[in-house]
Amino acid sequence: MSEDDEYDEERERHREEEEHEEWRREEEEREEQRHEEEEREEQDSEESRSVVKEITDYEEGKTTYLYDDGTYEVVHHEDEQESDCFVATACYGSALDEHVVFLRRFRDCEVMDTNIGRCFMGMFNALYYSFSPSLASYLRCHQGAKIMVRYAMVAPTIHLLRLSRYLAKPMGKVSREASIAATGSAFVLMCFIIGWILFHLIS
């Protein structure tokens, strides 16, 4: 074999290696794109689904959430005996009480699942955790104060949150961000209206 033939053969082998390497890179890029598309589709599917039924078993300490896409999720609360919803837990006596479970679930699985919710909770927690542990300790030792805070503050807040969540439910078809923003807006508006009515009744 002549030097020219060897040179041509070497060039051909080198070209084939380059083509194979280019094909491998393209396959990796296509595979990465497929993964990204699947992740986006899964995320969009999760964001578009909404809870159609909520079943809580307080004896077993679990809540089952049924979604409109036919899927369901079971959340176990037996490891949540020490809830960080300090005031609500002190008022209702247990981290597994249905009212405390609702607050915790609403915070962790709805509010904290959105950007606007995380921003709000960051500001809220800075204020709430500055006084709530000491307040909860006081309420546990003073039955009268516990009953007053429970029925004058915590229970109305939970009822208003449930109502706000219900009123904002249609926005869940747009996005979770829109749903949480609408829930917050409805809650603030109702608090303002109730406060205005109480102020005028008292004055």
Task: Looking at 49-114, list the stretches that DSSP marks H as alpha helix, in order from N- to C-terminal side.
Answer: 86-92, 98-106
- Between CA 169 and CA 173 the distance in angstroms is 8
pLDDT tens-place string over residues 33-53: 887 777 766 665 555 566 677
What b-and-e string marks burial along 20-51, b requiring 16 or more CB atoms within 10 Å of the CB? eeeeeeeeeeeeeeeeeeeeeeeeeeebebbb
pLDDT, average across residues 5-30 = 77
Residue 77 phi/psi, 5-degree rounding, is -110, 10
Answer whether residue 80 shows pLDDT above 60: no
**Residue 61: its pLDDT value, please?**
60
Handedness of CA 107, 112, 116, 121 (dihedral sign): positive
Q: How confident is the model at residue 198 (pLDDT cuts 50, 70, 90)?
A: confident
Return the higher-pLDDT residue of 121 and 19: 121
Answer whether residue 59 shows pLDDT above 60: no
Q: How confident is the model at residue 64 (pLDDT cuts 50, 70, 90)?
A: confident
Q: Give me the half-sphere count of Cα atoms (radius 13 Å) on the Cβ side of residue 3.
A: 0
Mean per-residue pLDDT over the chain, rounded: 81
Going from N- to C-terminal start, the domains of the chain cover 1-47, 84-202
**Residue 81: its pLDDT value, please?**
45
pLDDT tens-place string over residues 89-106: 899 988 888 888 889 888
Residue 129 near residue 79 (C-beta atoms within 8 A): no
Residue 93 phi/psi, 5-degree rounding, is 85, -5
- Between CA 151 and CA 171 the distance in angstroms is 30
Answer whether residue 54 shows pLDDT above 50: yes
| pLDDT above 70: percentage of residues in the chain | 79
Answer whether residue 87 shows pLDDT above 70: yes
The pTM score is: 0.60
pLDDT tens-place string over residues 127-169: 888 888 889 889 988 999 999 999 999 999 999 999 999 998 8
Matching residue, tokens 């040179």: 7
Contacts of residue 105, defined as CB under 8 A and 6 or more positions apart, other chains included, come to 63, 75
- Between CA 103 and CA 85 the distance in angstroms is 8
